[in-house]
Amino acid sequence: MRIFKPLLLAISVALILPSQSSAIDIPVSFQVQGAGYGHGVGMSQIGARAKAIAGETASAIISYYYKDVAIEPLDDSKILRVNIGHLLTSAKMATATQDATMQIFSGDIGDAQDVVPLAVVPVKSSLNFSILGSTVLPSIVTGKKTVSIPRNRIFTVRWTGTRYLPGVDGVISLSHTTTTKKYRYGQMQFRAVKAATLGYRIEVTNSVRLSDEYLWGISEVPSSWPEAALQAQAIASRTYAMSKAGIYRSACDCDLYGEISDQSFLGYAKEIEKGWGQFWKAAVTNTAGLTITQVGKPITAYFGSSTGGLTETAVNAWGTEKAFTQTVADVSSLDPVLNPRFYRWDREITQASVAAAFLLPDVVTLEIVMKNATGTVGTIRATSSTGIQKSLRGETFRSRTKIPSAYFDLVGMQNAVEPTPSPSP
């Protein structure tokens, strides 16, 4: 029996002693404080507003924020596929205009005009879509009556009053998850696309003309801002869309997302905004075709809400050099009157969010290893309870944890670099 005693002792000790991970204090959350909102690359929208208030022109604003560029008219009549519904299991379309009707077609019919519809959707009816296996299943709902349409991988929907279908000018509403938006132009496609971990989901796109149908619906800045700021935004938005047009992305069945990952596309509500929509529409019209170029080609005209006092470069944010991005002063972003929500901010990031950002089971300590000359975090390092260390770019950390910007400092932790001085109120 003696031969078993050391084993029993070892088991007893193992049961009594705490594990390494349980002996280490794992923070519930981490505190950060910073300034600005967004990636900080390209044009600062708060800065553009301040310059417009000071009397600067749209071209002067653009020349300040983008390096070695020209502003020239280009053909912007391209048709864009804009994703307005991503990774959906269901969606609903309905006409918001009396006497306007919809038609549904099998497949992606493009600009074809001689295609026979599967069905004409009656007035006061809706088109409901759901995912079924690897296909989309549509149905027409009129009152309490539901008529199913044979499923397919993709469907096209048109409504009257568009360049695709003559008739009463129609406005349609698209509802999914908790969102309902109105659209006036183009046509829509509903496609079943296989997502990496979710299986098949519905991607909804709106095919609209860039020059007006798309740009009239862009909602990146308030329409009440000064004319020069609106025009600078219109030129930047047109340029960004031009740089993406025709580069198809299978994951979204689109050229661009209609969200902030590309540009916020509100649709018809932006154009008809009471009292103000006319000013945004005028900014688009009065800058018709004007595009920011280098060597005759549209640049990827990045822009964002505000910065920490200096604009960021693409190479610092994403590791890719873009010759037109530069670091310039952006003191208006630190003005509490012009930027009341983000001239300075404080956030608490949960343990789960930080651990997920670094793909670690837990994070015991965070450390800012390096800062860029712009004031953004260049590299941030996490250490787990088992001693594993991983590092991320500050912009990647910002994106994954959903904090406002990479212009931040850690609170209550030892850093390898000096914290950025807090801006004065």
Please, are residues 83 and 142 in contact by the beta-carbon 8 Å criterion? no
Q: H/E/C letters for each residue in 166-210?
A: CCCCCCEEEEECCEEEEECCCEEEEEEEEECCCEEEEEEEEEEEH
**What tens digit of pLDDT does each residue of 362-392 get?**
999 999 999 999 999 999 999 999 999 999 9
Three-class secondary structure assignment of the chain: CHHHHHHHHHHHHHHHCCCHHHHCCCCCEEEEEECCCECCECEEHHHHHHHHHCCCCHHHHHHHHCCCCEEEECCCCCEEEEEEEEEECEEEEEECCCCCCEEEEECCCCCCCCCCCCEEECCCCEEEEEEECCEEEEEEEECCEEEECCCECEEEEEECCCCCCCCCCCCEEEEECCEEEEECCCEEEEEEEEECCCEEEEEEEEEEEHHHHHHHHECCCCCCCCHHHHHHHHHHHHHHHHHHCCCCECCCCECEECCCCCCCECCHHHHCCCCCHHHHHHHHHHCCCEEEEECCEECCCCEECCCCCECECHHHHHCCCCCCCCCCECHHHHCCCCCCCCCCEEEEEEHHHHHHHHCCCCCCEEEEEEECCCCCEEEEEEECCCCCEEEEEHHHHHHHHCCCECCEEEECCCCCCCCCCCCCC
For 298-349, the pLDDT digits (tens) are: 999 999 999 999 999 999 999 999 999 999 999 999 999 999 999 999 999 9
Q: In whole angstroms, what is the distance from residue 153 CA to residue 141 CA? A: 21
CA atoms within 13 A on the CB side of 341: 7
Burial class (CB in 10 A: 0-12, 13-18, 19+), 256: buried
Q: Which residues of the chain are under the pLDDT cut of 70?
A: 1-23, 414-425
To 5 degrees, how large is the angle CA 105–CA 106–CA 111?
60
CA 252 to the chain's CA centroid: 13
Q: Which amino acid is at 129?
A: F
Rounded Cα–Cα distance for residues 153 and 136 (Å): 6
